[in-house]
Structure 1
Amino acid sequence: MADNQNVAAGAATTALDERVPTVIVDDVHLIYRVYGAGAPTPGSPVAALKRLVSREPARPTLRQVHAVKGVSFTAYRGEAVGLIGSNGSGKSTLLRAMAGLMPVNRGAIYTQGQPSLLGVNATLLGDLSGERNAMLGCLAMGMSPERAKSKVPQIITFSGINERGDFSSLPMRTYSSGMAARLRFAISAARNHEIMLIDEALATGDSRFRRRSEKRIRELRANAGTVFLVSHSIGSIRDTCERSIWLESGQIRMDGPTDEVTAAYEEYMARQ
């Protein structure tokens, strides 16, 4: 019996040792500045006109927002981590910092691999067709022209933009916001990512699109990727992520198994 226990303990230790960290967030603080309510942006025509009329020097009112306050955690290869929290809790700000799009004021973020941020506001070219945008997106992700061309039909099918007509040949500016967001997700999901950061993209489609998206996230994890998902849909978090981090007022309130974290979050929100 003792030998069996030792073997089991050794196997558990080996499994733990094989966990490869891909993202380390170490005591991160993120602060950004916003202009006060009603204050025109310095250098804008409105600000210039106001100075001319009042003959007063510009006194821009600035406010600092401490969006993330001392957050620390480690994510591992093959994990899907949900980020939940009420509006303004710092979820999207933290994703932007992890993607390298926002400087860290204090602390540090270390990544093993290149994070790819997918948000519903990713830029595509409005005057080009969906097919052309898909082609350019694949090329921008480093695919060869031949591979990119072969991926375009799969991207269009995945996005579902042709389910009610041949929209893929129309300019992107004719798309609804939901269609455009689904196409952005489909383009980004066309290749494997070492670290994929998804900001509310799964909230833009119907149940069929969400099922396809959740399946694709599981495939990315199976290919040794790490996925972070920000979503107000607790159902999507439960279906996709085995671990969740609850941010509130820029701080981690809970980090653990998704079922436990989401249950505590829903109870908290019900009391508000």
Structure 2
Amino acid sequence: MTAPPTDTAGTAPERTPTVVADGVHVTYTVQGGRAGKGSATSALSRIVSRGKGAPGTRKVHAVKGVSFAAYRGEAIGLIGSNGSGKSTLLKAVAGLLPVNAGHMYTLGQPALLGVNAALMSDLTGERNVILGGLAMGMSRREIAERYEQIVDFSGINEKGDFISLPMRTYSSGMGARLRFSIAAARSHDVLLIDEALATGDAGFRRRSQKRIDELRAEAGTVFLVSHSNSTITETCDRALWLEAGTLRMDGPADEVVAAYEEFTSVTGSGGKNGKK
């Protein structure tokens, strides 16, 4: 077995952690239920819930005691069945959902794709590039210098001058591509991507994966949630498998995906075609 590389002191080089989750629990409240407002079931529910919070609400324990450490240069895929807590965990890493128990430590300000780049539907694509760039922490000068790169990368002008039109005229795929292009225009200590690579043609997916590799080379950490297991294995070197809010497996992406696919083939769980 080849020994790990060492520094001049003869010890393994220190890896820099960018995200550390220590026994993290995330619980949130959702509104409503299946029963109608005036039904007997709804009335009984309101009686039972008196003193336990607002009527018609329930708490969801979405992430249960998850622990892991992420390091500079890693691309980490998050996989699991629908409702397993993947997106909730990303939001907790980004600081958008509070941690109810345990601790979440991050280096710098993580960027959650499509949230930090909070684009507005009534503004043109051009104005949204500026708005999104500012939201991602870029200066106006940096945005001006990278504007053409952002538009070209997104490919939304390939079939017309869509960048000058309001974003409400864009397809969902065009909007997702523009958000990714804005977020990927600068380096991040931690970049969180939720389903962004599921949109666009094969050319855009190749550009996206290449850019993720570049971001990793620039010493950042990338987290990726995708419907496609092949995207996880092609883009990530490590994967976290969440199931019912718990961390079921953490290891090399190909091994974790293989174990997850075996699980879904037996249980029939997972998303579309068993690949979420």
| Shared fold, TM over 0.5 | yes
> Which position in structure 1 is the counterpart of 2:22?
26
Give yes or no for contact 2:5–2:12 (8 Å, CA) kept in 1: no
Is this contact kept in 2: 1:84–1:230, CA < 8 A?
Answer: yes
The aligned counterpart of 2:192 is: 197
Q: Is the 8 A contact 2:191 2:223 kept in 1?
A: yes
Is the Cα–Cα contact under 8 Å of residues 32 and 65 in structure 1 kept in the other structure?
yes
CA distance in 1, matches of 2:4, 2:159: 56
Q: Which one of the candidate residues 163, 180, 187 is aligned to 1:185? A: 180
Q: Distance in 2 between matches of 1:262 and 1:15?
A: 32
Q: Determine the C-alpha separation between the residues in 2 that align with 1:199 and 1:79.
A: 16
Alignment correspondent of 1:226: 221
Match of 2:15, SS state, is coil
d(CA) in 2 for partners of 1:265 and 1:9?
A: 29
Counterpart residue identity of residue 106, structure 2: T
Go from structure 1 to structure 2 and tell me whether the alpha carbon gap of 1:113 and 1:99 turns closer, same or farther (over 3 Å shift).
same
Is 1:127 the counterpart of 2:103? The answer is no
Distance 1:157 1:107, change over 3 A: same
CA drift at 1:216: 0.6
Superposition CA RMSD, Å = 2.6
For the pair 1:162 / 2:121, whether they are aligned, the reply is: no
Bigger radius of gyration among the two: 1
Pairing 1:241-256 to 2, within 5 Å after superposition: 241-256=236-251
Shift of 1:38: 4.2
Q: Give the alignment's TM-score, normalised by structure 1.
A: 0.86
Equivalences for 1:23-102 in 2 at 5 Å?
Answer: 23-38=19-34, 60-102=55-97
1:20 maps to amino acid: T
Give 5+ residue unaligned stretches, structure 2.
39-49, 269-276
| 1:51 corresponds to | none
Deviates more, 1:219-228 or 1:160-169: 160-169
Q: Tell me, yes or no, if the aligned pair for 2:117 and 2:182 is still in contact at 8 Å.
A: no
- Secondary structure in 2 matching 1:11: coil
Q: Any unmatched runs of 5+ in structure 1?
A: 47-57
Does the 8 A contact of 1:238 with 1:259 survive in 2? yes
Worse overlay, 86-95 or 11-20? 11-20
Instruction: Determine what percentage of the aligned residue pairs are the same residue.
Output: 65
Question: In 2, distance between residues paired with 1:10 and 1:218?
Answer: 22
Q: Find the residue that maps to 2:113 and give its secondary structure.
A: strand
State how far apart, in whole Å, the 2-side matches of 1:127 and 1:174 are. 9
Residue among 136, 140, 144 paired with 2:135: 140
Provide the aligned length of Structure 1 versus Structure 2: 254
1:168 counterpart SS class? helix
SS in 2 for 1:124: coil
**Residue number in structure 2 paired with 1:11:** 6
